[in-house]
A and B are shown apart, each in its own frame.
Chain A
Amino acid sequence: MMTQVQINEKLNGVFRDIFDVPELVVGDTTTANDVEGWDSLAHVDLIVAVESAFNVRFTTKEVKALANVGDFIRLIERRVK
């Protein structure tokens, strides 16, 4: 079982990796507008990388509804718990 902190840390790791910014920090309220390079292309990369990092699968509808990092975290929580 992962704690919220662990999920948060791991997710930040994925973001840093995808956007290639080692000091990047994302949290609940971070949206695509806040992160340089977070376009629809990177969004697809993110989903695939998150699924693989947490070993989960999201439905198409779920990933289409993602508006910010908080949504991402809650989606992961639902899957890993």
Chain B
Amino acid sequence: MLKPDRSELDYFKLVKQARRLTPGGRRLKLALLGDVSTQHLVPLLRALFASNGVDAEIYEAGFDTIELEALDPASGLYAFLPDVVVILQSIGKLKSTFYEFPGERGNFVVTKATQIEEVWKAIRARTGAPIVQSTFVLPYERPFGNYGFAIADTIHGAASELNREISVRARNNPGVLVNDVDYLAAWVGRSHFIDEKLWSLSKSLCALGFLPDVAQNIVDIALASQGRAVKCVVLDLDNTLWGGVVGDDGIDGIELGDRDETGAFRALQLFVRELGRRGILLAVCSKNTDSVARKVFQEHPGMVLREEHIAAFVANWEDKATNIRRIRDKLNIGFDTMVFLDDNPFERNLVRQLLPEVIVPELPEDPQLYVRAITELNLFEAASHSALDLQRGALYKEQEEREAESLRFGSLDEYLKSLETNARVARFEPRDLPRIAQLIQRSNQFNLTTRRHSEAECEAMLNDEANYFPFSITVRDRFGDFGLINVVILRRQGGMLEVDTFIMSCRVLQRGVEQLAMNKIFEQARRVGCTRVLGRYIPTAKNEMVRDFYERFGFGRIDAPEADGALFGLDVVEYVPREIFIREVSTDK
């Protein structure tokens, strides 16, 4: 994942870049609907997508045709078959609707919010594409001055309440993501962002100079909705998490707690701990003696972060690229999902050169500005959030205990039995859909087809009982809860059952879950009278580990030149159910 630093967000520079793009990269079809002109945005989006390796095809609806496009099943929007639908709405248009609103002013916000929600519903009913809805930039008009806060029906109050409505309703509408344009405007200053002249000339959302910020925000959200996510933050220690060098200054000499005069290091630790709470894994990568570094986490009263927050702790004297590789192996994630924070330009450049996929933000000289610099890059965009995220750090701790346990056993079977693993296998259920959709969006490695079905599509499969048999597996053992970690979608194709999707979290490798899932696939085939199971492997840059997945289960390769990826098949009568050491249960607990 490539992240330009903010100086790259120059309007004229990006327009030039867009002219010189060479086609290539993953295709993404993005539809733009707006009550603003979108032409100026198109080259910026194409250039910014391209710098993320994505070849964006963009559909521009006519000016101010959001409702028409959404409500007409024959509209260009639906013919385009978008992967993402972006809706941009301006305060300029909102103002005129507000001032000319024929009804009671008090009903304006609800009327407008309902209209917006109806557009979402219409789009979601006809496409599985996520919707990226903008907020309204708060206007500067204050007919009551500061006293306006006491008055319910001013344009300022209405716009601000409407933003609130958008965020609340977006939470209740799966697949709707908010593009907080007002945050961008407030950050640079609304007086600079709003441009009356350009609004009059070309119905531009804002001053040209800030369109790249809007475009970058759209790119961030669109890529997050397609599965891009930071999964781990790798932290340097000396002069990053605290001031000074613990090896030289001693545990009592470093700038931390009472000695952290500016509060800069505490501020960074608090922010990083929030990322951990969100489900992003935290790792330490430090040139230090292990025991010296750990002691700070164990004993220093000024530490916000403790060992329990750290999923992988690497402190030694080897180079940082080697150590980051080690962290990646331990956590089983991709380099492009890792962010490396280090105050030292030498280390940053070394990692950039040796591991170009790792995201390495520049950090300012003043530690006081660390959190600001990281936040400005918007590295942690998310498209979903589930209860499991909150416990992810703890899950890796449990894994360490399991590994310690495995050393005590001679045979693998004996060890697996000792884990007392329980699994619940269930057809998709509405309450599981957010987690299922998240796994589908995020999993890259143990993913046979990398088909990014949306939550709405999963819901449709759940309801199509004649053709779809989608199930998930939820696992726990005596050390703790893994949660929902396996998703399989089966589609009936006449007398055959095709595995449309097979995804597993890498945390549960080699303990029999994939064998359990395969047993279930063949049970299902038998139950619905299918005689053959078809499986498909669509190679990507990341799913090499499952290349021979079907062959390991005895499937034969089918020659099908027109097919997507490699196709495999196995007759139901020939499948030998695998022995597993997992007990099936009917509830999670």
List of B residues within 8 angstroms of A45 by Cβ:
12, 15, 40, 208
Task: State in angstroms the CA–CA spacing of A44 and B200 once bound together.
Answer: 11
Quick one: CB contact mask for A48-81 with B, threshold 8 Å, 1 for yes? Answer: 1100000000111001100000000000000000
In the complex, the answer to whether B197 meets A63 with C-beta atoms within 8 Å is yes
Does A5 sit at the interface, judged by CB under 8 A?
no
Closest partner residue, chain B, to A44 (CB atom): B202
Task: State in angstroms the CA–CA spacing of A48 and B209 once bound together.
Answer: 9
**Distance to closest chain B CB from A40 (angstroms):** 7
Chain A, interface size category, equals 10 to 19
Task: State in angstroms the CA–CA spacing of A40 and B40 once bound together.
Answer: 11
Does B274 sit at the interface, judged by CB under 8 A?
no
In the complex, the answer to whether A20 meets B16 with C-beta atoms within 8 Å is yes
List of B residues within 8 angstroms of A59 by Cβ:
197
**Distance to closest chain A CB from B4 (angstroms):** 21
Does A1 sit at the interface, judged by CB under 8 A?
no
**Distance to closest chain A CB from B201 (angstroms):** 6
Closest partner residue, chain B, to A47 (CB atom): B201
In the complex, the answer to whether A44 meets B12 with C-beta atoms within 8 Å is no
Within residues 180 to 236 of chain B, which ones have a CB less than 8 A from any CB in chain A? 196-198, 200-202, 204, 207-209
In the complex, the answer to whether B12 meets A64 with C-beta atoms within 8 Å is no
List of B residues within 8 angstroms of A18 by Cβ:
12
Does B527 sit at the interface, judged by CB under 8 A?
no
In the complex, the answer to whether B12 meets A60 with C-beta atoms within 8 Å is no
Task: State in angstroms the CA–CA spacing of A49 and B13 once bound together.
Answer: 12
Does B19 sit at the interface, judged by CB under 8 A?
yes
**Distance to closest chain B CB from A32 (angstroms):** 14
Task: State in angstroms the CA–CA spacing of A11 and B468 once bound together.
Answer: 64
Task: State in angstroms the CA–CA spacing of A64 and B207 once bound together.
Answer: 17
Task: State in angstroms the CA–CA spacing of A45 and B208 once bound together.
Answer: 8
In the complex, the answer to whether B40 meets A44 with C-beta atoms within 8 Å is yes
Chain B, interface size category, equals 10 to 19
In the complex, the answer to whether A44 meets B15 with C-beta atoms within 8 Å is no
Query: Given the known A-B contacts A17-B12, A41-B39, are A48 and B208 also in contact in the complex, defined by CB atoms under 8 Å?
Result: yes
**Distance to closest chain B CB from A14 (angstroms):** 10
Quick one: CB contact mask for B1-27 with A, threshold 8 Å, 1 for yes? Answer: 000000000011001100100000000
List of A residues within 8 angstroms of B16 by Cβ:
20
List of A residues within 8 angstroms of B12 by Cβ:
17-18, 45, 49
**Distance to closest chain A CB from B132 (angstroms):** 23
Task: State in angstroms the CA–CA spacing of A63 and B195 once bound together.
Answer: 14
In the complex, the answer to whether B196 meets A41 with C-beta atoms within 8 Å is no
In the complex, the answer to whether B19 meets A20 with C-beta atoms within 8 Å is yes
In the complex, the answer to whether A64 meets B40 with C-beta atoms within 8 Å is no
Query: Given the known A-B contacts A41-B40, A44-B40, A49-B12, are A60 and B196 also in contact in the complex, defined by CB atoms under 8 Å?
Result: yes
Quick one: CB contact mask for A14-58 with B, threshold 8 Å, 1 for yes? Answer: 000110100000000000000000001101110111000000001
**Distance to closest chain A CB from B43 (angstroms):** 10
Closest partner residue, chain B, to A17 (CB atom): B12
In the complex, the answer to whether A44 meets B198 with C-beta atoms within 8 Å is yes
In the complex, the answer to whether B19 meets A44 with C-beta atoms within 8 Å is no
**Distance to closest chain A CB from B119 (angstroms):** 26
In the complex, the answer to whether B208 meets A63 with C-beta atoms within 8 Å is no
List of A residues within 8 angstroms of B15 by Cβ:
45
Task: State in angstroms the CA–CA spacing of A40 and B63 once bound together.
Answer: 14
List of B residues within 8 angstroms of A43 by Cβ:
201
Task: State in angstroms the CA–CA spacing of A43 and B209 once bound together.
Answer: 15
**Per a CB cutoff under 8 Å, which of B11, B19, B39, B201 touches A63?**
B201
List of B residues within 8 angstroms of A60 by Cβ:
196-197, 200-201
**Distance to closest chain A CB from B525 (angstroms):** 57
List of B residues within 8 angstroms of A41 by Cβ:
39-40, 202
In the complex, the answer to whether B196 meets A44 with C-beta atoms within 8 Å is no
Task: State in angstroms the CA–CA spacing of A18 and B200 once bound together.
Answer: 21
Task: State in angstroms the CA–CA spacing of A18 and B12 once bound together.
Answer: 8
Task: State in angstroms the CA–CA spacing of A69 and B16 once bound together.
Answer: 23
List of A residues within 8 angstroms of B197 by Cβ:
58-60, 63
Task: State in angstroms the CA–CA spacing of A40 and B37 once bound together.
Answer: 11
Task: State in angstroms the CA–CA spacing of A64 and B199 once bound together.
Answer: 12
**Distance to closest chain A CB from B277 (angstroms):** 43
Task: State in angstroms the CA–CA spacing of A14 and B40 once bound together.
Answer: 18
Query: Given the known A-B contacts A20-B19, A45-B15, A49-B12, are A64 and B202 also in contact in the complex, defined by CB atoms under 8 Å?
Result: no
**Distance to closest chain B CB from A50 (angstroms):** 12
**Distance to closest chain A CB from B46 (angstroms):** 14
List of B residues within 8 angstroms of A20 by Cβ:
16, 19
Closest partner residue, chain B, to A49 (CB atom): B12
List of B residues within 8 angstroms of A40 by Cβ:
202
List of A residues within 8 angstroms of B11 by Cβ:
48
List of B residues within 8 angstroms of A44 by Cβ:
40, 198, 201-202, 204, 208
List of A residues within 8 angstroms of B19 by Cβ:
20
Task: State in angstroms the CA–CA spacing of A45 and B40 once bound together.
Answer: 9
Closest partner residue, chain A, to B197 (CB atom): A60
**Distance to closest chain B CB from A59 (angstroms):** 8
Task: State in angstroms the CA–CA spacing of A74 and B39 once bound together.
Answer: 29
The 7 closest A-B pairs by CB, nearest first: A60-B197, A48-B208, A44-B202, A60-B200, A41-B39, A44-B201, A20-B19
B-contacting residues of A (Cβ < 8 Å)?
17-18, 20, 40-41, 43-45, 47-49, 58-60, 63-64
A-B contact list, 5 entries, CB within 8 Å: A18-B12, A43-B201, A44-B40, A44-B204, A60-B200
In the complex, given contacts A17-B12, A18-B12, what are 7 additional A-B residue pairs having Cβ atoms less than 8 angstroms apart? A43-B201, A44-B40, A44-B201, A45-B208, A48-B207, A58-B197, A63-B197
